[in-house]
Amino acid sequence: MADNPAASTRQKLRLQLKRHRNSLSHAEINHASRSIAKNIRNSRLLTRKKRIAVYLAMPGEVDCTWIIREAKMRKMRVFVPVLFHRKLIFAPLEKHTKFTRNRFGVAEPAVHNSMLVSARNLDAVIVPLLGFDKDANRIGMGGGFYDRSFAFRKYRHKWQHPLLIGVAYSFQQVESLPTEPWDVPLDVVVTEQKLLENR
């Protein structure tokens, strides 16, 4: 089996970017996460949105706490991902939500299946990432869960729904990312310094 240069490049980038991200202090993460939430608010990306999905941050990732607070203030329903086979579905995040851990150790709401919604039924999704480029291509942890879950977006040329908003630290931007046919680009990437649109 021939080597895949793109896969090798992506893996090297993952290691490099993850190492840098893991070196951040709690104070640096906190400050950047607040700034990112402020930039999202000022951008009006969430105007008229009713259902938004966020993620529960792993160590080093941008913290969505302030995005959640803003969404709740605007009376939005907030959802978080639940791993279902090889895709993501989304569970409501409520004040008294109880959690369990999936096979990767990531916290997920422990809710009845009837409360879960599909990716198609969301208005906006806050997406974690390890790296991004000027075209809003994204590199994640390598599981492909977001790409599989939002693959339907690739067959829509005009109606972009839900809006995919990547959140990242500015150092996570790279010159360009090698892409694969199944990759789903983001609509917007928001960092503590700027907003990059791909719309």
Dihedral in degrees, nearest 10, Cα atoms 153, 155, 160, 163: 10
Beta strand pairing status for 188-190 and 195-197? antiparallel
The whole-number pLDDT of residue 2 equals 46
One-letter identity of residue 82: V
Give the pLDDT of residue 157: 63
* Gap between the Cα atoms of 120 and 152, Å rounded: 8
pLDDT digits (tens, 9 = 90+) for 129-142: 999 999 999 998 87
Res. 1: pLDDT tops 60: no
Domain 5-197, CATH number (from 3.60.40.10, 3.40.50.1000, 2.60.120.560, 3.40.50.10420): 3.40.50.10420
Instruction: Name the burial class of residue 2, with classes exposed (0-12), middle (13-18) and buried (19+) by CB atoms within 10 angstroms of its CB.
Output: exposed
Tell me how far the alpha carbon of residue 136 is from its chain's centroid. Answer: 12
Q: Quick one: pLDDT at residue 3?
A: 61
**Could you tell me the pTM of the whole model?**
0.91
The pLDDT confidence band at residue 4, using thresholds 50, 70 and 90, is low
Of 53, 57, 6, give the one whose Cα is nearest residue 30. 57
**Strand pairing class (99-101; 87-92):** unpaired
Q: Alpha helix (H) ranges present in 23-159?
A: 26-43, 65-73, 145-149
pLDDT digits (tens, 9 = 90+) for 143-157: 889 999 999 988 766
On whether the CB atoms of residues 141 and 79 are closer than 8 A, the answer is: no
Q: Looking at the chain, which runs of residues are DSSP E strands?
A: 51-53, 77-84, 87-92, 99-101, 107-109, 124-127, 131-132, 138-139, 163-167, 188-190, 195-197
Which two three-digit tokens encode residue 187? 């609509």
> What are the pLDDT digits (tens) for 55-97?
999 999 999 999 999 999 999 999 999 998 889 999 999 988 9
Cα–Cα distance between 13 and 31 in angstroms, integer? 25
CA 147/CA 137 separation, integer angstroms: 11
